[in-house]
Structure 1
């Protein structure tokens, strides 16, 4: 159980769920809401688990990767991205499932989440693989899976100040 693999697996599941929605344009509002609810929970719980378990360790061990000069830059950018994802998720809830506005809002979530995943995969995850021991990667991966299981029903996402987050976890 390696945290970098766990995060990559979650990213794959998020991409799969967005692809599923792409195939549901003729579906009922209740079906769309069911799939969206599951995806929303995946996104929110994943982000919170990263903030609690992954990024504090990256700040401690990382050196910067994938174009970022430091783990502080990687982490601050990731927390900012999480806020954008949360804000985009909230915008979906302002529209009736299946409406043109709803689809545009879902597309925005896909866009900001996709940008975040790509950055995280080439920056934070790469940095962590290079500098964290296998034992630590296993321990964090296990804790991450436990957190996700404990919060499978969802959480309330809250924006964080990226700079304050970095200061608090250094």
Structure 2
């Protein structure tokens, strides 16, 4: 098991759930609400699992990839992205399920998440695969999977200050 693969698998599931939402009729508000509820909880649980398991280790081992000069730059950007995704998810709740404003807010959340996933796949995940030993990738995958399993119904969304997060987790770098 490898944490980078678990993260990629989660990304694929997020893409799948957004695609499912696009194919459900606006009038089927019960199904839209159910699928969105699952996706919203999943997005936050995934972000929190990354922030607890992946990014602290990346800060210790990474050197920068995909156009970012350092692991700190990759991480700062990722935490900012997570905050933007949280804000976009919260905006969805402000509109009636299935309405035009609701669809627009879901599309905004999809864009914020899609942009983040693409950057993370080019930068942090690549950097980590290049520098982290397989045993560590396995151990972090176990912790990541356990966190997501324990919080399958979601966690409370809490924005984090990106610079403070990096300072707290950089471990002397």
TM-score normalised by L of structure 1: 0.99
TM-score normalised by L of structure 2: 0.97
Root-mean-square deviation (CA, aligned residues, Å) is 0.6
Aligned residues: 170
Cα deviation per residue 1:83-125 (whole Å; 9 max; x = unaligned)?
Answer: 0000000000011100100000000000000000000000000
Pairing of 1:105-144 with structure 2 (within 5 A): 105-144=105-144
- Which ranges of 4 or more aligned residues in structure 1 deviate by more than 4 Å? none
Cα deviation per residue 1:34-80 (whole Å; 9 max; x = unaligned)?
Answer: 00000001100000000001000000000000000000000000000
Taking the aligned partners of 1:126 and 1:156, their CA distance within structure 2 comes to 29
Instruction: Report the alpha carbon displacement of residue 28 of structure 1 after superposing the two structures with TM.
Output: 1.4
Instruction: Report the alpha carbon displacement of residue 25 of structure 1 after superposing the two structures with TM.
Output: 2.9
User: Where does structure 1 lack aligned partners over 5 or more consecutive residues?
Assistant: none
User: Where does structure 2 lack aligned partners over 5 or more consecutive residues?
Assistant: none
